[in-house]
Structure 1
Amino acid sequence: MDSTSDITIGQVVKSRAGRDKGRIFLVLSIVDDQHVLIVDGDLRKLDKPKKKKIKHLTVYNTVLPELKYKLDNNIKINNAYIRKLLEPFNKNF
């Protein structure tokens, strides 16, 4: 089964396993069909994204198109921007 088809850059995910269990992240990039790089701008910053198995993530239906656009067009983003994008999700979950 190819699990990358249901995950995309800029997608909101929640960790289901590990030390970061229960935290909300954004998918920064897709490594292969089983791993993605995730960031939250706080614990996992843009310069040190966490490589995480997709099966250890709860994938939400929310994709942040502005993040994907900025990454695709090499527009500089910072950790504060990531935290700002995730703010509403951290309140809801």
Structure 2
Amino acid sequence: MSESDSSPGPDIGQIVLVRKGREYGQLAVIIQVLDERFVLIADGEKRKFDRPKKKNIQHLERYNYISPEVRNSIKDTGRVSNNKLRMALWKFAQEVLEVPKKGDGLLDGER
């Protein structure tokens, strides 16, 4: 599911998992590629589009998943709404990570 070292560089709209730093373990979206080493990430909640976090790509686990909504919005207008960022991460968690929904049993204490 995550990309290998031989994969191409990071891309706008790509979902990442933070592996180092204060936001460890959180999902975010790449909103800008600064150079071959650094990107700007945001999640639309704690890290809004207007105040993204600069991260070294070596500190991120990149998923082979790009949100078309985020990518197209940034390409067309140069920005993306925080709601769109949150929705992209929610959609990724539901479809790709298969996070259980409330009522599926696992969140109700069943195993």
TM-score interval, normalised by the smaller of the two chains: 0.7 to 0.9
Unpaired runs of 5+ residues, structure 1, are: none
Moved over 4 A (4+): none
Higher strand share: 1
What amino acid sits opposite 2:75 in the alignment? D
- Of structures 1 and 2, the one with the larger relative CO (CA 8 A, separation 6+) is 1
* Residue 39 (structure 1) aligned to one of 30, 42, 47: 42
Residue of structure 1 in register with 2:61 after alignment: 58
Matched residue pairs, number? 91
Residue of structure 1 in register with 2:103 after alignment: none
Cα displacement (A) at 1:77? 2.8
- After superposition, give the CA deviation of every residue in 1:51-77 in whole Å (9 maximum; x if it has no partner): 000000000000112211111111653
TM-score by length of 1: 0.86
Which has the higher mean CA deviation after the structures are superposed, 50-59 or 64-73?
A: 64-73
- Cα distance in 1 for partners of 2:53, 2:73 equals 20
| Aligned-CA RMSD value | 2.0
Residue of structure 1 in register with 2:74 after alignment: 71
Larger radius of gyration: 2
- Counterpart check, 1:84 vs 2:82: no
Identity of aligned residues (%): 36
Residue of structure 2 in register with 1:8 after alignment: 11
TM-score by length of 2: 0.73
Unpaired runs of 5+ residues, structure 2, are: 1-5, 100-111
Given that residues 9 and 36 in structure 2 are in contact (C-alpha distance below 8 angstroms), is that contact kept between their aligned partners in structure 1? no
Instruction: Report the 3-state secondary structure (helix = DSSP H, G, I; strand = E; otherwise coil) of the residue aligned with 2:21.
Output: coil
